[in-house]
Amino acid sequence: LINKRTSIWNPTYQDPIADKSELDLPLKIIVLLLRTFTHMVMKDGRKDLAQRIMANCFEYIKRKQVKKWLACNSDEERKEIECNPWKIFHKAIENCTPVLKLMPATRGGITYQGRIVKKKQDLHRQCEANKAYAHYRWK
């Protein structure tokens, strides 16, 4: 028999569960995106401050989502709430990327800026006409 009082483990200790799907994530992409965003936040070369800001941002997102998760009553509502700040960060980056893309018009080696405004207006008009198909977004 093992005496519970002399155990080195806390009674509320839970065994870690290693999920192979999380272990197989490409870390290079995550690190590259975080490094790029940290460099955007950085001002006057103060990388330590920018990294602290990013860490506090992820902690704030996690706390807010866990608070929402604890406030829910049913399991269906809890399944809809994402508590992983990395996934929320990636979703925010995807939402910030532009859906429309404009290319400058080059004729005879010269880039003309006069027609770009008209092309942009035509592109927006065409996008407004095809708004019904907006949910078919391919990567």
Note the pLDDT tens digit of each residue in 41-63.
999 999 999 999 999 999 999 99
What mean pLDDT is reported for the chain? 78
45 lies in some domain:
yes
Mean pLDDT confidence for 32-37: 88
- Tens digits of per-residue pLDDT, 93-110? 888 876 655 566 666 777
Overall domain count for the chain:
2
- Domain assignment of residue 86, given as a range: 26-96
Residue at 108: amino acid letter: G
pTM, to two decimals:
0.54
What angle do helix axes 47-71 and 85-96 make, rounded to 10 degrees? 110
Shared domain for 109 and 78, answered yes or no, is no
| The predicted structure's pLDDT at residue 115 | 47
- Distance between CA atoms of 25 and 121, rounded to whole angstroms? 41
Question: How many residues in total does the chain contain?
Answer: 139
Q: Are 57 and 80 in contact (CB under 8 A)?
A: no
Instruction: Please report, to the nearest 10 degrees, the dihedral formed by the alpha carbons of residues 22, 48, 36, 66 taken in order.
Output: 40
110 lies in some domain:
yes
Shared domain for 85 and 42, answered yes or no, is yes
Shared domain for 32 and 84, answered yes or no, is yes
4 lies in some domain:
no
Q: Are 62 and 83 in contact (CB under 8 A)?
A: yes
